[in-house]
């Protein structure tokens, strides 16, 4: 491990997570905003459901690790919600089992450390027409927006019961104008516009939660943030410009600022 040691944010989930480090993806935006402040660690596995997640949970999050994550953002649900196939194969996980799988994931993560914070992302909506345009495989046609809603609501109920912060992506994505045409690459996975919605919702949680320490990027110190004579000269030619803090410029760049920033 390289140092100095920073807070570690782990993104754990299926393809919504694996693809989040693509150009304009929500993981890459977080990585940019938290540069010099936290390490964003990707643990995304395309095609996986909550059953898959349980099989590797101890390997991804070992209880005896010397350093435990400060934040874990978990997403499973979209693949679980796919309609069952007559063969018994495929991604479908019955709703009651999905809830119990997510409960087990939450219990494991809560046991890692008193300082490990958890956010669950619910299943987002989908664009069924766009899916048909992009994919020929029957496995992708077993998805409906209604099933995504059911799994999203079940996740929200579980999080309420277990006092875990949840982000209702099914609702948040659909608030945007023309969300069906702007928020997806293929009807399932997020475009840059959809990723902005995800980041805004995550940052809203991190800003509002009374976690100690607060994990919002404005609250975390920049690594090696002290002034230095080796920084670029200021306009007066007598001082230097400290470049350790530039988050505001980045939220403008990504188009995720609001009136409160």
Cα 61 from Cα 240, distance rounded (Å): 43
Supply the residues annotated as catalytic.
Answer: 14, 186, 189
Cα 160 from Cα 165, distance rounded (Å): 8
- Residue 19, class by beta-carbon neighbours within 10 Å (0-12 exposed, 13-18 middle, 19+ buried)? buried
Which two structure tokens, joined as six digits, stand for 82?
């796919």
- Residue 112, class by beta-carbon neighbours within 10 Å (0-12 exposed, 13-18 middle, 19+ buried)? middle
Q: Which of 229, 230, 231, 210 is nearest to 219 (CA)?
A: 210
Q: Any idea what DSSP says for residue 106?
A: H
CB 127 within 8 A of CB 81: no
Q: Partners of 43 in the beta sheet?
A: 12
Buried residues in 122-158 as b, exposed as e (16+ CB within 10 A): bbbbbbbebbeeeeeeebbebbebebbbbbbbbbbeb
Q: Beta strand pairing status for 71-75 and 165-167?
A: unpaired
Report the SS3 class of residue 196. Answer: helix
């Amino acid at each position: 491990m390289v140092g100095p040691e920073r807070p570690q944010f782990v993104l754990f989930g299926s393809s919504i997570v694996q693809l989040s480090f693509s150009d304009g993806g929500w993981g890459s935006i977080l990585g940019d905003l938290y540069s010099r402040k936290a390490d964003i660690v990707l643990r995304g596995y395309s095609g996986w459901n909550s059953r898959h997640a349980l099989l590797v949970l101890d390997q991804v999050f070992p209880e005896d690790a010397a350093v435990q994550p400060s934040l874990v953002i978990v997403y499973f649900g979209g693949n679980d919600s796919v309609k069952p196939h007559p063969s018994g194969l495929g991604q479908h996980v019955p709703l009651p089992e999905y809830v119990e799988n997510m409960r087990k994931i939450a219990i494991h993560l809560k046991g890692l450390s008193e300082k490990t914070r958890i956010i669950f992302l619910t299943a987002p909506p989908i664009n069924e027409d766009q899916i048909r345009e992009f994919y020929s495989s029957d496995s992708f046609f077993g998805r409906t927006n209604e099933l995504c809603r059911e799994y999203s609501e079940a996740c929200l109920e579980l999080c309420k019961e277990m006092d875990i912060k949840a982000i209702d992506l099914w609702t948040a994505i659909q608030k945007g104008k023309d969300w069906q045409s702007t928020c997806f690459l293929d009807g399932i996975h997020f475009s840059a516009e959809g990723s902005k919605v995800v980041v805004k919702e995550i940052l809203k949680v991190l800003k509002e939660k009374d976690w100690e320490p607060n994990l919002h990027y404005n609250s975390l110190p920049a690594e090696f943030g002290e002034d230095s004579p080796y920084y670029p000269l200021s306009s007066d030619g007598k001082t230097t410009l400290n470049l350790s803090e530039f988050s505001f410029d980045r939220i403008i760049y990504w188009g995720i600022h609001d009136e409160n920033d």
